Amino acid sequence: MQQNFPTLLRSALGILLPVSLVVLTLIWLGTNFFLQRSVENELRVHLEANGQREVARITTRLASLSAFARTVAINDLIINGLIDVDGRASYLPTFFRSLAPPASSGAIVALLDYRGRVIASNSPGTSAGSLNIYNLDLEKSSLVITRSAVNVLEPVMYNGFVEGAIILSYSPLDFPALYGHSRFGDDFFIINDRDVVLYGSNPSLSLAEIKKDFQSETWITVNKDLGSTDRKLIVAVNLQSRQKLLTDFNIAQIVGLVLFGSAFIGLLVFAAKFMTRPLSSLASEISDIHNVQGLVVPLKVEGPSEIARLAIAFNEMGQSLGAALLKEQMLELNLRQAKKLESVGQMACGVAHELNTPCQYIGDNLRFVDQNMSGIFDVIEVITRLENDIGDPEATEEKLQTIIELVKSHDLNYILKEFRVATAESLEGIIKVSGIISALQEFSSPMAQNFAQTSINQLLQNAVIVSRNVWHDFADVKLDLDETLPEIHCCAADINQVLLNMIMNSTRAIEDSCRNEGEGLIVISTRQECGNLELRIADNGCGIPDAVRDRVFDPFFTTKEHGQGTGHGLAVAYDLIVNKHCGVLEFENSDNGFTTFLIRLPLETELPQPVSAAVSNQ
């Protein structure tokens, strides 16, 4: 009966909205991340350009020093001061005091003669030693940058000859004013050709620290030669410092997102519990189904409309599936019974044949006795009359002569000898018939249908006897039984069927191998191994090809042509041993040409009757 339940859409309304908001938030975060990366890339390009401009600024500043020195060097007063030794003291000091060096007023401007002696300077007491110009060539313009000084040298020429030089020297105290500061607050370093830092705009920052962070892309650097010197300028820009505002904004966004997400997580948890409670109950009930009977037990119908319809559909499916499985088990039971009847039919045919042989020669012997009893009766009759003539010698002699003639005419000596042989053969036949009937009685006993303590060795001997007609034309059967083997708890009827199926399977394998009569061999052995009974049935038949090894125990699988076999014998044996007796059934092809089937059963464990057997009995 269809019932009305709230729709899943109405039930999940409290979930879809927050989920949608979360999805939109994720899309927004993704877009924001993309924009942030774009801004970072643009910032890198912009900062790269700023670094290039900084290189140009410092290069221009250093070039202005050379230009200043060059301007001073070509001044007439300077040239006259070198030539006019006597009068230069009157004007050179005033001239040098009037000079304003670029960048820093603390810079020293000095005039040297061709011997390197200081002639005049804007700083009293200046000497060649204090200027550190011993390594400079006075005849060449040069710009020398070291840790201790920045020296600019410009030769003073007169009539094509170098008469002296102008020295512009900056001490480390003048470096901040000389190099200046980046317009954008960037850090820079001046290094020599051995990467030794000669000057850094930020004393708290080392070039080694920057190089260590290159891999993390924290810094952007610009490296360029400084004019004609062997010095280089490295401008370093810290991306993190440029991104501080953006980072602060992102932190604020993350905090807001966490607060926003926390509020909706509570809603999601509540909605999830509301949605999953009926589903969990449904899953729990389904997980409790362990057998066919469990399928017919209906599940609880509750929860939203869609889940309720799912439970109803599952109940309908369970009922149909349970009925189908029960039908399949009944078909399997009927098929197993048909196979059992097939085995019984073949066994009955074999038993009839086995009983016919001894019965035939018992009958032949009885007919031989019946046919020859007339001569014996004639002799007995004469002997009886002889008793009346004992007192008459002539009559006695006559009857004795008659007896002798009867013995000769009926060949009683031969008959009596053959009577003994016929009697012995008849007794042997009767014993054989009695043994076959006894084995058949045990084989088909109603008590064999139940689980009980049973001797596997006795079952094997009975199976060999009742199946003799199956194998005796194709093979010999050799029994190698462990006489100390204890009885095991099993269903004798099932084991009998397994043994018959296995013997018939081995016989057909030998028959298919086209062996000559007497060459086929079936070896059946029993042993105790590790608390188990091991029963091996080996034959030297055609074997099992590797291509079908995985399908040997499949129902209806057979390698014979259509109509020559059902392909169910090994499948039934596997089901009875593995599923019903919790044993093992496997096989192997040996190098000696034998195929061996191994049956392993527990020796002492009493096995509960499986569910499949219970269903079969029902």
Could you tell me if residue 332 is inside a domain? no
| Residue of 308 and 262 predicted with greater confidence | 308
Residue 469's pLDDT band, with cuts at 50, 70 and 90, is confident
Could you tell me if residue 8 is inside a domain? no
Could you tell me if residue 263 is inside a domain? no
Looking at the fold, whether 496 and 379 belong to one and the same domain comes out as no
- What is the sign of the dihedral through the CA atoms of 334, 336, 342 and 348? negative
Residue that terminates a domain, selected from 426, 453, 470: 426
Looking at the fold, whether 564 and 508 belong to one and the same domain comes out as yes
Kindly state the average pLDDT of the residues 482-489.
Answer: 90
How many Å apart are CA 420 and CA 377, to the nearest integer?
17
- Mean pLDDT, the chain, integer: 74
CATH of the domain at 208: 3.30.450.20
Kindly state the average pLDDT of the residues 304-311.
Answer: 72
**Is the model's pLDDT at 481 over the cut of 90?**
yes
| Residue of 242 and 200 predicted with greater confidence | 200
Least confident range of 54-63, 74-83, 159-168, 198-207: 198-207
- Count of alpha carbons within 13 angstroms of residue 506, beta-carbon side: 32
| Residue of 416 and 496 predicted with greater confidence | 496
Residue that terminates a domain, selected from 398, 426, 454: 426
Could you tell me if residue 373 is inside a domain? yes
| Residue of 46 and 97 predicted with greater confidence | 97
- Percentage of the chain beyond pLDDT 90 is 6
pLDDT of residue 524: 94
3-state SS of 259-307? Answer: HHHHHHHHHHHHHHHHHHHHHHHHHHHHHCCCCHHHHCCCCCCCCCHHH
Domain count, the chain: 3
Kindly state the average pLDDT of the residues 487-491.
Answer: 89
Looking at the fold, whether 462 and 399 belong to one and the same domain comes out as no
Could you tell me if residue 277 is inside a domain? no
Looking at the fold, whether 391 and 455 belong to one and the same domain comes out as no
pLDDT of residue 480: 93
Kindly state the average pLDDT of the residues 486-497.
Answer: 88
Could you tell me if residue 317 is inside a domain? no
Residue whose C-alpha is closest to residue 416's, from 460, 378, 368: 368
**Is the model's pLDDT at 127 over the cut of 50?**
yes
Residue whose C-alpha is closest to residue 338's, from 502, 609, 556: 556
Residue that terminates a domain, selected from 194, 209, 240: 240
How many Å apart are CA 566 and CA 573, to the nearest integer?
14
Kindly state the average pLDDT of the residues 67-93.
Answer: 83
Looking at the fold, whether 451 and 412 belong to one and the same domain comes out as no
Query: Where does residue 297 fall: left (phi above 0), alpha (psi -120 to 50 degrees), or beta otherwise?
Result: beta
pLDDT of residue 616: 38
How many Å apart are CA 214 and CA 331, to the nearest integer?
78
Looking at the fold, whether 413 and 539 belong to one and the same domain comes out as no
**Is the model's pLDDT at 311 over the cut of 90?**
no
- Which of 128-142, 146-160, 596-610 shows the highest mean pLDDT? 146-160
Looking at the fold, whether 563 and 597 belong to one and the same domain comes out as yes
Kindly state the average pLDDT of the residues 125-144.
Answer: 78
pLDDT of residue 21: 67
Looking at the fold, whether 518 and 599 belong to one and the same domain comes out as yes
pLDDT of residue 275: 64
pLDDT of residue 479: 93
Looking at the fold, whether 487 and 613 belong to one and the same domain comes out as yes
State phi, psi for 219 to the nearest 5 degrees. Answer: -120, 150
Compute the residue count for the chain.
618
CATH of the domain at 599: 3.30.565.10
Residue 597's pLDDT band, with cuts at 50, 70 and 90, is very high
pLDDT of residue 2: 46
Looking at the fold, whether 415 and 473 belong to one and the same domain comes out as no
**Is the model's pLDDT at 113 over the cut of 50?**
yes
Kindly state the average pLDDT of the residues 205-218.
Answer: 60
- Percentage of the chain beyond pLDDT 70 is 63
- Count of alpha carbons within 13 angstroms of residue 240, beta-carbon side: 7
Question: What's the pLDDT tens digit per position in 369-381?
Answer: 777 776 677 667 7
Residues 6+ apart with CB under 8 A from 66: 141, 143, 152, 154
The domain in which residue 402 lies consists of 349-426
**Is the model's pLDDT at 110 over the cut of 60?**
yes
How many Å apart are CA 448 and CA 442, to the nearest integer?
8
pLDDT of residue 345: 64
Looking at the fold, whether 461 and 600 belong to one and the same domain comes out as yes
**Is the model's pLDDT at 76 over the cut of 80?**
yes
Kindly state the average pLDDT of the residues 195-210.
Answer: 73
| Residue of 157 and 416 predicted with greater confidence | 157
Q: Coil, helix or strand for 42?
A: helix
Kindly state the average pLDDT of the residues 26-37.
Answer: 72
Per-residue tokens: 287: 């997980």
Could you tell me if residue 283 is inside a domain? no
Residue 478's pLDDT band, with cuts at 50, 70 and 90, is very high
**Is the model's pLDDT at 470 over the cut of 90?**
no
**Is the model's pLDDT at 555 over the cut of 50?**
yes
pLDDT of residue 391: 62
Residue 232's beta-bridge partner residues? 191, 225
Least confident range of 167-171, 195-199, 220-224: 220-224
pLDDT of residue 599: 93
- What is the sign of the dihedral through the CA atoms of 209, 213, 219 and 223? positive
**Is the model's pLDDT at 608 over the cut of 50?**
no
Could you tell me if residue 417 is inside a domain? yes
Least confident range of 258-267, 404-413, 533-542, 558-567: 558-567
Helices (H), 444-491: 456-466, 468-471
Looking at the fold, whether 105 and 229 belong to one and the same domain comes out as yes
| Residue of 524 and 512 predicted with greater confidence | 524
